[in-house]
Amino acid sequence: MCLSPATAPFVNNNVAPSLSSATSGKECVWCQKTVHDDCVSDVPDQCDFGEFHSLIIPPHYLFHVNKLRRRHPDEYSKLAESCGSSWTPVLVLANTRSGNNMGEVLLGEFRSLLNPVQVFDLVRVLVCGGDGTVGWVLDAIDTMKLKGQDQFIPRVTILPLGTGNDLSNTLGWGAGYAGEIPVEQVLRNVVDAEVVKMDRWKVQVASKGAYFRKPKVLSMNNYFSVGPDALMALNFHTHREKTPSFFSSRIINKAVYFLYGTKDCLVQECKDLDKRIELELDGERIALPSLEGIIVCNIGYWGGGCRLWEGMGDEPCPPTRLDDGLLEVVGVYGSFHCAQIQVKLANPVRLGQAHTVRLVLKSSKMPMQVDGEPWAQGPCTITITHKTQALMLYHSSEQTDDDDSSDSETESNTPHDSPRPPGSASARA
């Protein structure tokens, strides 16, 4: 690896594919430019790091960082300024077990385009994985304790792998990546993305009678639910843990979910939920109809791509935002009702919006889930309160996969849940 910013390191390559026979040449490992062997001497010595120069950490930067760490740690900011005002390097964290090993493929491709030290198997952070991987990264960022220091908080974007991916859908990055878009275009989309704030929530589960035990505490980005959708997630999770090799494709996973949903339509394991649970929104007791499930949403999408709060879209409903400090609470009559909502044949039972949600499970075990992580829970009190806000990157629907005209990342001051945060921003992230 070259330590000087002025030297362009070349590797052997075949160039000029338009010719009848490939011509021997060289390719720069940083800017990806190719030249014929005979023309190498005509190429400028300085490498500009190519199209993605604003995303790449130059090798000489790491060399100087190590020197400053030992001698002059107060000079860090000056070193960053030397890379230019548009320099916003991206950090790629990929989960190689997500998306049928697509994460492993992406690691290799991103390492060829960026500095390999920026690409990690697990600042803007590109997370290659599902909503669970994103949640893990956001929890890790929370441990940095940067509240009130937005300029130091990493902006997180998502390249969705696997199934579900409702958070990725809400933020405009789609439901799943299968290699249909070149990774170069993914990086262009990251450059063009808007910064939006997203509420994160704390879910406290205090089991009945466990007076000397600390409540179970979970972080929530997407949704909490009790009832049939949590039951399907629990059954799916249990069987996937037993035979992980069987659940190797998105089609199989969705088919298995469908089978579990069909089974619950007949068995109705969660019936009479309204008699087993109490619901309070901001301290006000809510009278429940004859429901089988309650879903508490923070984002627009649920159940693998369904706009739950909007339903069929034929009824007026309060607007939702990612940063309003409010949760949307709905009820469902059963698995069949969930299926109807997903294909826009029915509306959910809208129970209200609230800053704080409290549920009391009075008797028997019920299936529950937070962001797709299910468990069976006995009598307890569940309290959901606001935790913090994360800075996320939003891919606008106006940015096409072929549009690379923008060279800056902008921040939206009034981010909406979806379909798009309005307007443009004045501040550079």
Is-contact 76 417, C-beta < 8 A?
A: no
Q: How confident is the model at residue 115 (pLDDT cuts 50, 70, 90)?
A: confident
Q: How confident is the model at residue 67 (pLDDT cuts 50, 70, 90)?
A: low
The predicted model scores a pTM of 0.73
Same domain, 208 and 336: yes
- Which of 11-25, 80-94, 125-139 has the weakest average pLDDT? 11-25
- Sign of the Cα torsion 92, 93, 98, 103 reads positive
- The DSSP-derived string for 310-328 is TTTS-S------TTSS-EE
Q: How far apart are CA 43 and CA 132, in angstroms?
A: 46
pLDDT at 141 (0 to 100): 87
**Helix/strand/coil for 187:** helix
Same domain, 209 and 331: yes
pLDDT tens figures, 355-376: 999 999 998 899 999 998 999 9
Same domain, 103 and 129: yes
What value does the mean pLDDT take over residues 10-38?
Answer: 65
Print the domain residue range for 28: 10-52
pLDDT higher at 10 or 48: 48
pLDDT tens figures, 372-411: 899 999 999 999 999 999 999 999 866 555 544 333 344 4
C-beta neighbour count of 186 within 10 angstroms: 22
What value does the mean pLDDT take over residues 92-115?
Answer: 78
Q: Is residue 133 part of a domain?
A: yes
Same domain, 162 and 41: no
pLDDT higher at 20 or 34: 34
Q: How far apart are CA 161 and CA 360, in angstroms?
A: 35
Same domain, 190 and 226: no
Q: How far apart are CA 213 and CA 327, in angstroms?
A: 28
Instruction: Name the DSSP class of 345.
Output: S
List alpha helices for 202-295, DSSP H. 228-242, 250-267, 273-276
- Sign of the Cα torsion 146, 150, 154, 155 reads positive
Same domain, 42 and 95: no
Total domains present in the chain: 3
